[in-house]
Chains A and B, each alone.
Chain A
Amino acid sequence: MGRGLVWIVLALAILWSAASAEMGLDKLPGAAPRLGEFLGRMMPPDLSVWREVLQGLAETLRIAILGTFFAVLLSAGLAVLAAETLVPAAVWRPVRGLLAMIRSIPLILVAMLMVGAVGLGPLPGILAITFHATGMLAKFYAEAIDNVAAAPVAALESAGASRTQQLRWAIWPQMAPVILRDTVFRFELNLRESLILGVVGAGGIGLYVQTYVRSFQYDKAATVTMAIVVLVLASEAVNSALHKRFS
């Protein structure tokens, strides 16, 4: 019975979505040739805009680097407050809840709000990346803290090592590789996600996508798209190489 119900709900959901004139489904038959025509207008890509494209990519890279940098700083502090092994549940539970909430807000939404708050340009992009990335990174760092084996730390404490010495010689050696891996991983995500920030005016290459599409210069938009694909593939290659080293 349960299974039949699932199918019925599914069918109803699809019918409900399609049964509205606003979805424009009546235009669907004509869409394929139009898409073809559109793609035709992207060809051949106009490579003369390479300067703008490089500038946009550089800005995106800067946004990702600075956003990651500030997120690392924030996460280091918040991770301590989110670590089950360091602070009472009355502290880490709400902090983790807050981080989960931050993670749940899509980056593009954060970016729009930041643009509203501080105006157009790369700054809102950096702030948005910082905010968004901290939700994940602080949680990862907190888990790295919680996964530190307690016995070696207790051994140093028993031998009379100070708290900072325990941190340096028992806790940090266990955490460092994990932290490094998580940070690199998050940087790659930041880079990918910051590619679209420009669409809402928060800096980077996305601005050119926006501009060229709005002004019907599809051949230039094609160049930008290709550049983005290359960047994503390159960052993926770098990341998988690093993953091999850290595993």
Chain B
Amino acid sequence: MTAAFTLNAVSHHFDGAAALREVSLSAAPGERVALLGPSGAGKSTLLALLDGRLRGWHGEAGVLGVPLSATHALPRELRTGAGFIFQEFALVDRLTVYQNVMNGRLARMRTWPSLWGRFGEQDHLKVAAALEDTGLSGLARRRADQLSGGQRQRVAIARCLAQEPRLVLADEPVSNLDPAHAERILGLITGAADKRGIGVVFSSHQPELARRFAGRVVGLRAGAVQFDKPSGQVTSDDIDALYHGAAPGAGLRVVS
């Protein structure tokens, strides 16, 4: 089976500042990987790369058996492979929960009917299933801007599931939630992924949750992989070193 993703010596710079340095990583299909690391470590950059949205990087990268290009976006039909759960949810506020989830399926429809809101039976079924899985069935007709943060997060997850991805990418999916909610959401994401037999890569600032919900934890610091271990073997020293240890080019920067 092809790997969920493989990165070979991938580097990326934003205006000359390194965001990723020679990152080599890979994950087996169905594997759950957590990305840990201080702010600015490169977690979001890495996830955007895996989603095929980053341009101008160097190295070799492939996701779900498809090589990524540093200069060109993936063709439309291949973009459904990786489903992305955005940190700020990225919902269309004025649309209903139902339509927001339906938006995850647009790539699978013929363009013309989809523009008039005529969606196929299969699409309605998948949306209903995604709403069911995320406990949103009762809120389907509610507008997205009339939801709580936790509910919005679940809409974002439902949209991702409706896309029928073969790999779920989530950028700090629980950073805006209270601890109990955070656990439930991570349980929801990983549970839904397990049910579909697909892998999850998520970033987090909560080492405990990362260890609990991922099989493997990757520590990023200043754009480089500092450790890469099965969750059970991550020690508190690893965590301490990740957040407090000295690293080249890291540390607080002067805000001008």
Contacts and interface: CB of A to CB of B under 8 A. Distances in A.
A149 B93 CA distance: 10
B79 A159 contact: yes
Given A159-B107, A165-B114, A173 B94 contact: yes
Interface string A108-121: 00000000000000
Contacts of B111: 162, 164-165
Interface in B77-117: 77-80, 82-84, 86, 88, 90-95, 99, 103-104, 106-108, 111, 114-115
A107 to B, nearest CB: 34
A151 B104 CA distance: 14
Interface residues of B, number: 32
Contacts of B86: 151, 154-155
Contact of A158 (B51, B91, B92, B115): B51
B92 A159 contact: no
Nearest to B144: A152
A94 B251 CA distance: 44
Contacts of B88: 151
Contact of A169 (B73, B83, B90, B106): B106
B106 A160 contact: yes
Nearest to B82: A158
A31 interface: no
A174 interface: yes
A177 interface: yes
Interface residues of A, number: 20
Interface of B: 51-53, 73, 76-80, 82-84, 86, 88, 90-95, 99, 103-104, 106-108, 111, 114-115, 159-160, 163
Given A152-B92, A152-B93, A165-B114, 13 more contacts: A151-B86, A154-B53, A158-B79, A159-B80, A159-B83, A159-B104, A159-B107, A159-B160, A162-B76, A162-B107, A164-B111, A165-B106, A170-B92
Interface of A: 149, 151-152, 154-162, 164-165, 168-170, 173-174, 177
